[in-house]
Amino acid sequence: MFQIDFENLAGIIIISWMSIIVSLMTYIIYENKDDMETNMFSMGPNPELYILGFCIDTFPKYGIVASFCFINSGIRELDQNLLRPWIINQIQDTKNKNHVDSRKAYSISLLSVVYVWFDWFMYMNILLAQIDMLFIEIAADLIMTVFLTKYYLGVKVALSTGNP
């Protein structure tokens, strides 16, 4: 008999939700394409693309913004998949009796908080400017997530075989 676990069920629910929203947005955009006066769905540099007050109207400027998005997505994944789990498992887990250097604990915790706010500010300004920035962010997140997942799975295999 086919059995589904909660993680797979959550995945199915999330994919279904995203599919419904994208379908509805596509329908709304298609039905209102003549009335829409937004540049949100433009691609590449253009004279109406402004991020943080700067006009991104040339390919070199666009390349800088795209590079920032790509690199920052990787940094975001490091924060979400390395620093935050470390904070949870080493600092916040009261059952973990391992000694943690208090300077390291405070510095990593505070760095993570400051980065989250910096990232949120930049993320909102960039993603709300134009849809292609979203695609760059998604691509970078996927690449970094695959890299980190491969790393963690490799560590688990090494530990289970006794070859750390």
Transcribe 68-111 into DSSP letters.
HHHHHHHHHHHIIIIIHHHIIIIII-TT------HHHHHHHHHH
Residues 138 and 153 in one domain: yes
Q: Specify whether 32 is located in the same domain as 49.
A: no
pTM (2 d.p.): 0.67
Domains identified in the chain, total number: 2
With pLDDT > 90 as the criterion, what percentage of the chain qualifies? 11
* More confident of the two residues 59 and 43: 59
The answer to whether residues 55 and 109 belong to one domain is yes
Please check the confidence at residue 34 and state whether its pLDDT lies above 80. no
Residue 56's domain spans which residues? Answer: 44-161
Q: Are residues 11 and 28 in the same domain?
A: yes
| 73 shares its domain with 151 | yes
Unique residue bearing structure tokens 């909102």: 124
pLDDT at residue 39 in the model: 58
d(CA 151, CA 48): 41
Which DSSP state fits 35?
A: T
Q: In whole angstroms, give the CA distance from residue 136 to residue 142.
A: 10
